[in-house]
């Protein structure tokens, strides 16, 4: 019950980890289905319609329901610890953010059981996705489910920003924050500005699909290209929302396991900000073949190439952090070390894609599929695995098995390159994206697709071992010290796992790499910034779950308002919008209750702190 | 023509089947290959530099057994930061200049030009329509062009977004409803070049291939003449009656410039494919007539419940639509 | 959260909304939220501008809009925003009665704006300018309707704040609510200025 009503950022982080892992496994199964279908030419393992649903759900699930939540798990758990705070700015909203993500994700996936999943690609181009003539009910779930999940993301973005702006411990200036906190901050800025356009796009799509609007109805003057602009103004920053926290993880792990401070800290901060700014200037590079004209194409081409510069700066700074260091190849560091060359490979194909005339060949071919999997899987997923091994002791008080971890890594890494390197070639010999099958007469396609599928089996084996590692470790007793890696940042000053109140006394920060600075000065602990005193904690609440559930119910109400139900009573409920409005009323009532009833919270007294009897 | 096509297919096949973005047979494709190679070259240089530093670092600075102590903590280096900012900028400029130049070059509008073959392309779910506006020819599936001549296509869609791509000759341009896009390309060698749809457009997105068939000028003239003079009479009387009675004529025009909801079937006997992607044989044609959804899921070609007899008659009729007499 | 200050027995500080960490967080968080809302409305404006000429057979912007009505509504909304400024001023002077009065005035004028807008939309539907008529009509109602929904939500919110002031008085807990709801109200007003310009002015003139 505690888990359903918690407002503690640490528990919410763990909930995101669980939810994200669940959807990661779902998305992974969808990936295996794709590869199985494409293993042989003209296979009928999956029929055309099912394949289109699987490929749509693979992309949608992985980006929105796996990668983002897994990153949020770490941002939520670790950032308050790194800045010396006791929680985020809005614990209640934090919980609400999780539950809306969760219910949104369930909604998108329940489509499988209710007539079919969305089938227009994760990009849902109109009018394929917006007109009943061209697509089925599945795309309703896409529009409404993602809308709900997106609300949660936006809330969390605001939460992280306010937390980092207002709640840093005394002495922690912006330029003394760890890079993971910086990238969380900048990524949250991107969320703040990129998710509202997505929300609008999804509203327009919903209105066209459910309420007879005409935004994308060509016959009524609507515009198919309008959707693309709105989607990609969100969609491009989205991929930087994903990669920046991953960059932050890399910075933390590289620094710790090289025993060196991050090389070029200010440049890294500046590069992060520049990447974020530029990410809003490049969206048309997804639309080079739309016929927008050479001026638009040329401008966006140059802007896209420019993003390579701050990204390159980061790569070199990581390499030079390792230069002259003492590198320990723990499992976490192994992932980070593998990230660097892999991500650079993905990045350089990005620069290749930035050239419109060349892109006229690459676009919508497997070359693009190879590029983005290199940066997303080779980039974000490797960084996430690194974070898992790095921060697991802090989160759960246990050390994951290093041997099993390294075995899982090698299986996954080798499989990854087997699967995706060859896809560059497939694209360059003319294989388009999103095709459910191909003819045997295409020279080389069958062999290359087979290799690609074999790689997928390796990756699946790796993932199984990762999960096995977690299961085995969870069965063992707690064995982690507060600082198993000889860390540099504030989270390593706390016990493993972390008590519910985080810091007994908020620390005084005197430098970048706050903990390391104290260690170098001969101190075993941080200097406190306040006396021991009663700690005020926010109360648990069931309202976030109920509010998210209200949105969930309402979504169904709108989607099924015109559905021909067999049962008359049920039809009456939906037709008269009792369900749709009712769901919103549930949410509204919770909001009113939250506003009218002030939460006094509760206090943890100093005696409880001294005895260390308060469990996380 | 069939013999010619066959020999073309055998000779040109080996050429055209291998025509890809990496091995283009058209001027535009060659321009694009240049940029692909230039960018690949520059990026390989970057990769080599990064990989060399990378391998050096992870080998040289591994923690040795028993090694203790704290390495020197280095804040950074202005010189290095400037180096790895300026050099990438220079490399990008080297790539950007020809990129921008070719972006404008490829956008040239030939709609008013004289010595250019103009074709209006319309994407449908799940087939391609080609209208030779100056020649009064409407056809589908096979896009005949003369070798060495610029072809200027205006590309539209009748339903959802598609994308017109001939990987062996040039890049692609999207077919978006409500929008008219333009592209030019040519073929420098004769052959049958694969065309594909490159934008997810529904169930049979993978199955709406087309063919660009590049032939000599004479052969092209012959093809135009063939297309403009359909057979006067067909011997397949029963099939012809069925073609009308079963409603086929409502969707499939058979006159040279007839536009219809479905593909124009004038000169059908000489088409490269049936249903866009299957070999044009009796077997596949019969299958297509018998169960369209099996061959091409999601297709709007209806299943009118033909008997085997009726199918045979229609097949005979369709193959009598042979203008090469 | 040990920095939570228990201020019940102390005199109310000059800026009560900023006196606690919770209050400062709420204000920071809300400015951030408004930044996000800016891009949300920005996207709706872009949609409207892209589609505003696609009227099909329906009435055009020029034919529909009546400046008198719109000018009146604009004036009413701007004045209501002024009232909320006066409300916050009263709050800083710790004058609870005046605060409640000006908040009440804000709500009354806001309601008047909403009534006018509902009348306006109803009139348009009679002229054939309905939601599903064309791309222009859909984008008009999406943009202006979304704004109207924001106004309605704001009115309910401010009304609830008025109620809380009556029940709990002005404290370091209720002060941030007043401040933040006033910020929201100003934002709605600024968006309306853009709507007036882009939709109505440009519709009649451009």
Report whether pLDDT(A490) > 70.
yes
Distance from CA of A7 to the nearest CA of C (A): 13
- Provide the domain count of chain A: 2
- For the segment A101-107, the average pLDDT, to the nearest whole number, is 98
Give the pTM: 0.95
- For the segment A582-610, the average pLDDT, to the nearest whole number, is 91
Query: Which pLDDT value is given to residue B11?
Result: 39
Residues A267 and A306 in one domain: yes
Query: What's phi and psi for A602, nearest 5 deg?
Result: -145, 165
Domain contains C31 = yes
Query: Which pLDDT value is given to residue B233?
Result: 83
Q: Tell which A residues from 284 to 323 touch B, by Cβ distance under 8 Å.
A: 289-291, 293-294, 297-298, 301-302, 305-306, 308-309, 312-313, 315-317, 319-320, 322-323
Residues A426 and A535 in one domain: yes
Residues A196 and A344 in one domain: yes
SS3 content of chain B, % helix, strand, coil (to 5): 40, 20, 40
Query: Which pLDDT value is given to residue C1?
Result: 41
Query: Which pLDDT value is given to residue A404?
Result: 97
Domain contains A255 = yes
Task: Please state, rounded to an integer, the average pLDDT across all residues of chain B.
Answer: 93
Cα–Cα nearest to A71, from A334, A387, A371, A338 = A387
Contacts of A539 (CB under 8 A, 6+ apart): A7, A599, A600, A601, A602
Query: Which pLDDT value is given to residue B7?
Result: 41
Consecutive 10-residue runs of chain C (206 residues): their mean pLDDT?
50 91 96 98 97 92 92 97 97 96 98 97 94 96 97 97 95 96 98 97 87
| Residue linked to tokens 């590309």 | B155
| Residue linked to tokens 């996936």 | A109
- Per the CB < 8 A criterion, the answer to whether B283 and B161 are in contact is no
Residues on chain B touching A313 (C-beta within 8 angstroms) = 81, 84-85
Share of chain B above pLDDT 70, in %: 94
Residues A512 and A563 in one domain: no
For A588, the domain range is: 545-598
Each residue of B126-181: pLDDT tens digit?
999 999 999 999 999 999 999 999 999 999 999 999 999 999 999 999 999 999 99
Residue of A nearest to B109 (CA): A293
Query: Which pLDDT value is given to residue B4?
Result: 39
Q: How confident is the model at residue B3 (pLDDT cuts 50, 70, 90)?
A: very low
| Residue linked to tokens 């490829």 | B106
- Provide the domain count of chain C: 1
- Per the CB < 8 A criterion, the answer to whether A130 and A227 are in contact is yes
Residues on chain B touching A258 (C-beta within 8 angstroms) = 61, 71
Least confident of A63-77, A602-616, B206-220, B275-289: A602-616
Q: How confident is the model at residue A599 (pLDDT cuts 50, 70, 90)?
A: confident
Distance from CA of C86 to the nearest CA of A (A): 23
Domain contains A135 = yes
Cα–Cα distance, A148 to A538 (Å, whole number): 25
Query: Which pLDDT value is given to residue C3?
Result: 42
**Helical residues (DSSP H) of C52-95, grouped into ranges:** 61-64, 67-92
Chain C: partners with 3+ C-beta pairs within 8 Å? A
CB contacts < 8 A, A to C, total 131
Query: Which pLDDT value is given to residue B324?
Result: 86
Share of chain B above pLDDT 90, in %: 89
For C66, the domain range is: 16-205
Long-range contacts of B92-95 (CB under 8 A, 24+ apart): B92/A305, B92/A306, B92/A308, B92/A309, B92/A351, B94/B38, B94/B42, B95/A305, B95/A351, B95/A355, B95/B38, B95/B39, B95/B42
C142 contacts A221? CB cut-off 8 A: no
Q: How confident is the model at residue B325 (pLDDT cuts 50, 70, 90)?
A: low
Residues A572 and A535 in one domain: no
Residue of A nearest to C52 (CA): A221
Residues A196 and A227 in one domain: yes
| Residue linked to tokens 């396991």 | A257
Q: How confident is the model at residue A396 (pLDDT cuts 50, 70, 90)?
A: very high
Residues A323 and A212 in one domain: yes
C149 touching chain A per CB within 8 A: no
Q: Is the dihedral of CA A50, A56, A62, A64 positive or negative?
A: negative
Query: Which pLDDT value is given to residue B10?
Result: 44
Report whether pLDDT(A612) > 70.
no
Beta bridge pairs of residue B279: B273
Query: Which pLDDT value is given to residue B275?
Result: 96
Each residue of C41-92: pLDDT tens digit?
999 999 999 999 999 988 999 999 999 999 999 999 999 999 999 999 999 9
| CATH code (residue C42) | 1.20.120.80
- In chain B the domains, ranked by start, together with CATH numbers, are 117-228 (2.60.40.420), 237-320 (2.60.40.420)
B89 contacts A294? CB cut-off 8 A: no
Domain contains C138 = yes
Measure CB to CB from residue B172 to each of A224, A329, A360 and give the nearest one: A360
B179 contacts A428? CB cut-off 8 A: no
Measure CB to CB from residue C138 to each of A214, A233, A534 and give the nearest one: A214
Domain contains C6 = no
Domain contains C146 = yes
Task: Write out the two tokens for A245.
Answer: 């926290």
Residues A40 and A186 in one domain: yes
Query: Which pLDDT value is given to residue A610?
Result: 60
Residues A334 and A472 in one domain: yes
A315 contacts B173? CB cut-off 8 A: no
Give SS3 for A353. helix
Probe site for chain C from A91, A152, A154, A162 (most C CB atoms < 10 A): A162
Cα–Cα nearest to C17, from C183, C166, C134, C194 = C183
A221 touching chain C per CB within 8 A: yes
Chain A: partners with 3+ C-beta pairs within 8 Å? B, C
Query: Which pLDDT value is given to residue A174?
Result: 98
Domain contains C134 = yes
Cα–Cα distance, A73 to A238 (Å, whole number): 17
A136 touching chain B per CB within 8 A: no
Query: Which pLDDT value is given to residue A222?
Result: 96
The CA-atom distances, in angstroms, between A123 and each of A63, A205, A229, B157 are 11, 12, 11, 19
- Per the CB < 8 A criterion, the answer to whether B123 and B155 are in contact is yes
Query: What's phi and psi for A246, nearest 5 deg?
Result: -65, -45
Domain contains C11 = no
Residues A515 and A592 in one domain: no
Query: Which pLDDT value is given to residue B34?
Result: 97
| CATH code (residue A492) | 1.20.210.10
Residues on chain A touching B202 (C-beta within 8 angstroms) = 52, 128, 134-135
- For the segment A468-488, the average pLDDT, to the nearest whole number, is 96
A241 touching chain C per CB within 8 A: no
Beta bridge pairs of residue B127: B124
Domain contains C1 = no
Q: Tell which A residues from 339 to 368 touch B, by Cβ distance under 8 Å.
A: 340-341, 344-345, 348-349, 351-352, 354-365
C52 touching chain A per CB within 8 A: no
Each residue of B38-77: pLDDT tens digit?
999 999 999 999 999 999 999 999 999 999 899 999 999 9
Query: Which pLDDT value is given to residue C12?
Result: 86
Residues A321 and A400 in one domain: yes
Measure CB to CB from residue A364 to each of B21, B54, B199 and give the nearest one: B199
Cα A319 from chain centroid (whole Å): 25
A89 contacts C28? CB cut-off 8 A: yes
Residues A45 and A170 in one domain: yes
Domain contains A615 = no
Domain contains A338 = yes
Domain contains C127 = yes
- For the segment A226-238, the average pLDDT, to the nearest whole number, is 98
Residue of C nearest to A85 (CA): C1
């Amino acid at each position: 019950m505690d888990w359903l009503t918690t407002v503690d950022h640490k528990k919410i982080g763990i909930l995101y980890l669980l939810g994200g892992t669940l959807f990661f496994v779902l998305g992974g199964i969808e990936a295996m289905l794709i590869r199985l279908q494409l293993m042989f030419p003209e296979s009928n393992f999956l029929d055309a319609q099912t394949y289109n649903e699987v490929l749509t759900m693979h992309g949608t699930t992985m980006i929105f329901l796996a990668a983002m939540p897994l990153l949020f798990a770490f941002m939520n758990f670790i950032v308050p610890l790194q800045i010396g705070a006791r929680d985020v700015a809005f614990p209640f909203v934090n919980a609400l953010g999780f539950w809306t993500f969760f219910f949104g994700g369930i909604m998108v996936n329940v489509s499988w059981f209710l007539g079919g999943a969305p089938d227009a690609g994760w990009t849902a181009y109109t009018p394929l996705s917006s007109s009943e003539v061209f697509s089925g009910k599945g795309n309703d779930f896409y529009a409404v489910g993602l809308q709900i999940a997106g609300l949660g993301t936006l809330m969390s973005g605001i939460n992280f920003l306010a937390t980092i702006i207002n709640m840093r411990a005394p002495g922690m200036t912006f330029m003394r924050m760890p890079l993971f906190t910086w990238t969380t901050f900048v990524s949250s800025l991107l969320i703040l500005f990129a998710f509202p356009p997505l929300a609008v796009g999804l509203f327009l799509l919903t209105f066209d699909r459910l309420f007879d609007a005409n935004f994308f109805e060509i016959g009524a003057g609507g515009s198919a290209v309008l959707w693309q602009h709105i989607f990609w103004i969100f969609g491009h920053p989205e991929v930087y929302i994903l990669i920046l926290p991953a960059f932050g993880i890399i910075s933390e792990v590289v620094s710790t396991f090289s025993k060196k401070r991050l090389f070029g800290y200010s440049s890294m901060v500046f590069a992060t900000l520049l990447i974020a700014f530029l990410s809003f200037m490049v969206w048309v590079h997804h639309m080079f073949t739309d016929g927008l004209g050479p001026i638009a194409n040329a401008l966006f081409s140059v802007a896209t190439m420019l993003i390579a510069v701050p990204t390159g700066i980061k790569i070199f700074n990581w390499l030079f952090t390792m230069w002259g260091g003492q590198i320990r190849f723990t499992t976490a560091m192994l992932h980070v070390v593998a990230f660097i060359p892999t991500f650079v490979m993905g990045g350089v194909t990005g620069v290749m894609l930035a050239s419109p005339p060349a892109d006229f060949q690459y676009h919508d071919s497997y070359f693009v599929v190879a590029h983005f999997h290199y940066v997303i899987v080779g980039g974000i997923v490797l960084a996430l695995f690194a974070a898992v091994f790095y921060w697991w002791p802090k989160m759960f008080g246990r050390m994951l098995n290093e041997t099993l971890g390294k075995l899982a890594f090698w299986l996954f890494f080798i499989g990854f390159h087997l699967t995706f390197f060859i896809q560059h070639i497939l694209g360059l010999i003319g294989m388009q994206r999103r095709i459910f099958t191909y003819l045997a007469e295409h020279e080389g396609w069958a062999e290359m697709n087979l290799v690609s599928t074999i790689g997928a089996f390796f990756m699946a084996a790796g993932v199984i071992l990762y999960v096995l590692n977690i299961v085995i470790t969870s069965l063992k007793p707690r064995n982690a010290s507060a600082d198993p890696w000889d860390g540099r940042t504030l989270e390593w000053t706390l016990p493993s796992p972390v008590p519910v109140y985080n810091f007994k006394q908020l620390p005084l920060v005197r430098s970048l790499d706050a903990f390391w600075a104290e260690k170098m000065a001969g101190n075993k602990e941080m200097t406190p910034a306040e006396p021991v005193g009663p700690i005020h904690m926010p109360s648990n609440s069931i309202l976030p779950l109920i509010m998210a559930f209200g949105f969930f119910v309402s979504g169904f109400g709108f989607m099924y308002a015109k559905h021909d139900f067999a049962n008359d009573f049920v039809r009456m409920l939906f037709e008269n919008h009792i369900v749709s409005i009712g769901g919103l009323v549930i949410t509204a009532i919770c909001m009113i209750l939250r506003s009218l009833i002030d939460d006094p919270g509760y206090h943890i007294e100093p005696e409880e702190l001294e005895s260390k009897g308060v469990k996380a | 023509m069939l013999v010619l096509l066959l020999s073309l297919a055998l000779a040109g096949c080996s050429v055209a089947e291998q025509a890809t973005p990496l091995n283009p047979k058209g001027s535009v494709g060659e321009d694009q290959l240049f940029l692909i190679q230039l960018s690949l070259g520059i990026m390989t240089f970057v990769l080599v530099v990064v990989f060399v530093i990378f391998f050096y670092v992870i080998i040289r600075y591994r923690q040795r057994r028993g090694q203790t102590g704290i390495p020197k903590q280095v804040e950074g280096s202005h010189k290095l930061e400037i180096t790895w900012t300026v050099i990438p900028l220079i490399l990008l400029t080297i790539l950007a200049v020809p990129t921008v130049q070719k972006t404008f070059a490829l956008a040239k509008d030939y709609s008013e030009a004289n010595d250019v073959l103009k074709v209006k392309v319309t994407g449908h779910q799940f087939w391609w329509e080609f209208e030779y506006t100056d020649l009064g020819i409407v056809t589908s599936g096979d896009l005949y062009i003369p070798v060495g001549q610029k072809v200027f296509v205006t590309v539209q869609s009748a339903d959802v977004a598609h994308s017109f791509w001939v990987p062996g000759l040039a890049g692609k341009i999207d077919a978006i409803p409500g929008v008219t896009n333009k592209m030019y390309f040519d073929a420098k060698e004769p052959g049958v070049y694969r065309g594909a749809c490159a934008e997810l457009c529904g169930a049979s997105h993978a199955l709406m291939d087309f063919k660009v068939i590049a032939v000599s000028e004479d052969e092209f003239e012959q093809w135009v003449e063939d297309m403009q003079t359909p057979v006067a009479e067909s011997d397949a009387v029963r099939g012809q009656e069925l073609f009308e009675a079963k409603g086929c004529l409502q969707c499939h025009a058979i006159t040279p410039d007839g536009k219809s909801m479905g593909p124009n079937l004038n000169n059908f006997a000489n088409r490269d494919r049936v249903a866009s992607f299957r070999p044009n044989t009796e077997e596949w044609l019969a299958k297509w007539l018998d169960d369209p959804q099996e061959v091409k899921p999601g297709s709007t070609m209806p299943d009118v419940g033909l008997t085997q007899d009726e199918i045979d008659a229609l097949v005979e009729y369709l193959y009598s639509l042979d203008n090469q007499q | 959260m040990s920095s939570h200050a228990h201020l019940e027995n102390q005199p109310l500080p000059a800026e009560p909304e900023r006196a606690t960490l919770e209050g400062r967080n709420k204000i920071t968080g809300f400015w951030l939220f408004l930044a996000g809302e800016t891009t949300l409305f920005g996207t709706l404006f872009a949609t409207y501008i892209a589609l505003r000429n696609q009227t099909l057979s329906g009435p055009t912007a020029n034919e529909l809009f009546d400046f008198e009505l719109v000018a009146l509504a604009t004036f009413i909304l701007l004045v209501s925003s002024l009232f909320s400024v006066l409300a916050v001023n009263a709050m800083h002077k710790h004058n609870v009665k005046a605060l409640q009065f000006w908040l009440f005035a804000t709500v009354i004028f806001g309601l008047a704006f909403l009534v006018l807008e509902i009348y306006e939309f109803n009139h348009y539907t009679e002229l054939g300018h309905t939601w599903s008529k064309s791309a222009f009509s859909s984008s008009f109602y999406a943009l202006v309707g979304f704004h109207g929904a924001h106004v309605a939500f704001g009115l309910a919110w401010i009304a609830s704040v008025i109620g809380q002031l009556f029940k709990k008085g002005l404290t370091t807990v209720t002060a941030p609510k007043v401040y933040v709801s006033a910020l929201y109200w100003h934002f709605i007003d600024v968006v309306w200025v853009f709507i007036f310009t882009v939709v109505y002015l440009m519709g009649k003139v451009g």
